[in-house]
Amino acid sequence: MKSSEDSLESVLIRTSHMTDVNDLLQELGLVITGRLRGSAYGVQAVCAPELRTVELEDSPDGDHNSIYFPKCVRIKRCGGCCGASQLLECSPTKKSYKTVRRAHIRMKRSADGRPLPNLSHHSVSVEEHEECGCQCRVGPQQCDPFLHRYRLELCRCECLNARDQLECKSLGTYRIWDSSECRCKCIVTKLCSTGYYFDDHTCSCIEEEYKH
């Protein structure tokens, strides 16, 4: 059974492409009335390639007597938001590499100490984003196939032993469900005195003679 939190997240993921708040409100079943009606809202910056300033490596050969120009260039990189969901991120779906030619000015000195700049060329390859898309921050590769199933519509790994998870929640505030290991764990663990061991079921120290 879906929780209200799951339902909201699935809506936010589904509406990640929207730029107008009115479209989002309509999807949520909300109608603007009263003094809020007709209010002007900003337009969402959707996920798309945009020009970003990228700083190039200052001195690739470690020579501090060299000058490389340009120092930075504007390259298309992914930017913008993926709706209101925190589960999505704007990332490149198609990349290419652009070659940037730079002037390499190496400062030398003549026998009498005069500066003698020497000009050559240096090229660097810079990653450029041609296409972008809203993708899950958590992907199926982050799930343990023996413990999880991947829920694309919610961008998350879910434990296969859902019944154990429900049981864990009913055991009280001293236990917590670990979604990465898919098991119920004690919130606090501690070292026990000699003759006692820490029991994961009761979250307390028990005498060794009662150990199963």
What does 148-187 look like in DSSP terms, one character per residue? EEEEGGGTEEEES-HHHHHHHHTT-TTEEEETTTTEEEES
pLDDT for 1 beyond 50? no
Residue 9: its H or E element: helix 4-14
Residue listed under structure tokens 């009498």: 112
Report the C-alpha gap between 81 and 87 in whole angstroms.
11
Q: Give the residue among 106, 101, 108 at the shortest CA–CA distance from 73.
A: 101
CB 180 within 8 A of CB 163: no
DSSP-derived letter for residue 23 is H
pLDDT of residue 78 exceeding 90, the answer is yes
pLDDT at 62: 64
Per-residue pLDDT tens digits for 14-27: 888 888 888 888 88
Q: How confident is the model at residue 207 (pLDDT cuts 50, 70, 90)?
A: confident
Question: Is residue 185 scored above 70 in pLDDT?
Answer: yes
Per-residue pLDDT band at 169 (split at 50, 70, 90): confident
Give the C-alpha separation, 148 to 162, whole Å: 10
Residue 76 banded pLDDT, cuts 50, 70, 90: very high
Looking at the predicted structure, is the pLDDT value of residue 4 above 60? no
How does the average pLDDT of the chain come out, rounded? 87
Choice between 4 and 207, residue whose per-residue pLDDT is larger:
207
How far is CA 186 from each of CA 116, 164, 172, 181, 201, rounded to the nearest angstrom? 71, 14, 10, 13, 8
Q: Given pLDDT bands bounded at 50, 70 and 90, which one contains residue 39?
A: low
Residues 113 and 74: their CA atoms lie apart, in Å, by: 38
CA distance 153 to 143: 15
Rounded to a whole number of angstroms, the CA Rg of the chain reads 29
